[in-house]
Amino acid sequence: MNTYLALAESVRMINKGTHSILIDYDDTLEFIGKGRSAYVFKIEGTEVVLKVFFPDFAAVAKEEALIYQALGGLEYYPNLYEAGENYLVIDHVKGSTLFQCLQKGMPITENHLKEVDRALQLARNRGLNPSDIHLRNILITDAGDIKIIDVARYRQQKDCTQWDDLKNAFYVYYTRKHFPKKLPVVLLNTVAALYKRKMLPHYGGH
């Protein structure tokens, strides 16, 4: 059986400009996604994923490992099983991101938001500063629970209002009776791009 290190070393990629291109990986790995800093694979026959970072993001891998260690034991975050120079092994979370929920028309409830608030407060209680909380890193599991992934920015010093802004949009727009609960991907991506460019309102406070 391949070790996690061997599996991580089987992942071959090259940099092309500002992009990383995946070339090859072990047959026991199932590619499930690409983020801003890493490729993610489910390991065959297990319930864990291997997150292999791009060549220029080794520092992010180290930072995220330290944060997952700090979050250890909290039900809202994946468990960390191993960390290497450019990889992490964490729980495979089965469910849909809030982005996918909006795309598919799956309901998001006020209780889900309260659970996210609780998850973030528990992280703060451990000396962290949750940042970069967005629709793609909050999941509603198949059992209806909340899980949060991609925690690399949880030790930033700046005050991030992104989650407060999402909550405000939920109460101002999503809860309206006639507001559509299923939204096209192009609209969701456009709103995200406008928000990133500070062309939409930002709100403060927790």
pLDDT of residue 204: 55
Q: What are the E-state strand segments in 17-167?
A: 19-24, 29-34, 38-43, 48-53, 80-83, 87-91, 95-97, 138-141, 146-148
Give phi and psi for 140, each to the nearest 5: -100, 115
For residue 1, pLDDT beyond 80: no
If you search the block for the tokens 């030790």, which residue do you land on? 155
For residue 205, pLDDT beyond 70: no
Q: What is the tens place of the pLDDT at every residue in 43-63?
A: 999 999 999 999 999 999 999
Q: What is the tens place of the pLDDT at every residue in 149-193?
A: 999 999 998 889 999 999 999 999 999 999 999 999 999 999 999
Out of 91, 117, 132, 145, the active site residue is 132
pLDDT of residue 206: 44
Phi-psi region of 37 (alpha: psi -120 to 50; beta: other; left: phi over 0): alpha
Instruction: Give Cα separations from 118 to 2, 75, 112, 124, 153 (angstroms).
Output: 38, 11, 10, 10, 18
Establish whether 164 is a catalytic residue: no
**Residue 2 structure tokens:** 């391949």
pLDDT of residue 199: 83
Total residue count of the chain as it appears in this document: 206
Mean pLDDT of the chain: 94
Mean pLDDT across 105-132: 97
pLDDT of residue 17: 73
Domains parsed from the chain with CATH numbers: 4-91 (3.30.200.20), 95-196 (1.10.510)
Q: What is the tens place of the pLDDT at every residue in 14-31?
A: 888 778 999 999 999 999
Closest CA to 183 of 68, 73, 64, 101: 101
- What global pTM score does this model have? 0.91
| 62 annotated as a binding-site residue | yes
